[in-house]
Structure 1
């Protein structure tokens, strides 16, 4: 064999062997690079998932706080409205009672002035009807309360048959109790 051919065959064999060795090392490096890229991508995906989860949790908590705040405002509004309605109903009951008590007091004075006259019996019936209206209005006050106002109203109803000064005092006491109940004092 010719020396040149032998050298060429050796060179060709070395090139093939070197290519296989180089390819093996290149393939190993490429695999390590792909594994590193995969791991980096996995870490990035895990971090994105964790960040998204924290963001979703924070949004959920913020939504709950907002809903709680809106619910608290709604409760306060409803409570204020309920107190206003209760106050209006009580005020109407107190006004009606006071109006009927005043009408009964005037009927009593008219009856007393008509005693021994032809109008006496008619004035007596008017006073009795007015007293019945006072008792009916007193029952409404008893339902609406509170106890201080009920006590003052019962005292005013009893004072219809006392002196005018006793009636006036009982009337002032009822007004004071009613005002205190309506203003929350």
Structure 2
């Protein structure tokens, strides 16, 4: 082999080795760059997923809190409605007890007046008996007023009942009646 051929083979081998070596180095750099780019893409996707997760968690927390506040508001409205209905029912029961008592007291007062006017007549005994029966009705109605209260109304009712006794002047009834009405109205108007 001639020196020229040998030189050519050496040059060709060098070129192939250089190409292979240069391609390997370039391939390593290309592979490393591809790995960095892939890792960067993965990291960006992970950050995006974390941000989406955190945003979703905050949104769920906010929705939970809004639902809780709405439920509390609805419970408050229901409690207020029930309290209002209970108060209205209590007022109606009291009003009925007061009205029953007043009707019994008025009827007893009329029986008393009739008895006092019939004194010395044949009707006096019947009028007296009706008056005594009417006092029983007043006492029964007074029991309802005492149950329903309040104390101020019960006290005024007792005063009104006492004004119906035969030994008390008839004028006391009107004052006791007015006092009971005022006290009962105040109790019914109270919140």
Scaled by the length of structure 2, the TM-score of the pair is 0.92
Whole-Å Cα distance in 2 between the matches of residues 96 and 132 of structure 1? Answer: 13
CA shift for structure 1 position 17: 1.2
Structure 1 counterpart of 2:16: 12
Moved more, 156-165 or 172-181: 156-165
CA shift for structure 1 position 8: 2.4
Whole-Å Cα distance in 2 between the matches of residues 168 and 39 of structure 1? Answer: 94
CA shift for structure 1 position 116: 2.2
Structure 1 counterpart of 2:177: 171
Specify every segment of 5 or more residues in structure 2 that has no aligned partner in the other structure, as ranges: none
Whole-Å Cα distance in 1 between the matches of residues 143 and 28 of structure 2? Answer: 105
CA shift for structure 1 position 68: 1.0
Counterparts of residues 72-91 of structure 1 (less than 5 Å): 72-91=76-95
Aligned equivalent of 1:147, options 151, 161, 168: 151
Counterparts of residues 37-76 of structure 1 (less than 5 Å): 37-76=41-80
Scaled by the length of structure 1, the TM-score of the pair is 0.95
Give the number of equivalent residue pairs: 185
Q: CA RMSD in A?
A: 1.3
Whole-Å Cα distance in 2 between the matches of residues 166 and 33 of structure 1? Answer: 106
CA shift for structure 1 position 94: 0.5
After superposition, the C-alpha distances for 1:116-158 in whole angstroms (9 at most, x for unaligned) are 2221211111111110000000000000001110000000000
Whole-Å Cα distance in 1 between the matches of residues 154 and 44 of structure 2? Answer: 81
Specify every segment of 5 or more residues in structure 1 that has no aligned partner in the other structure, as ranges: none
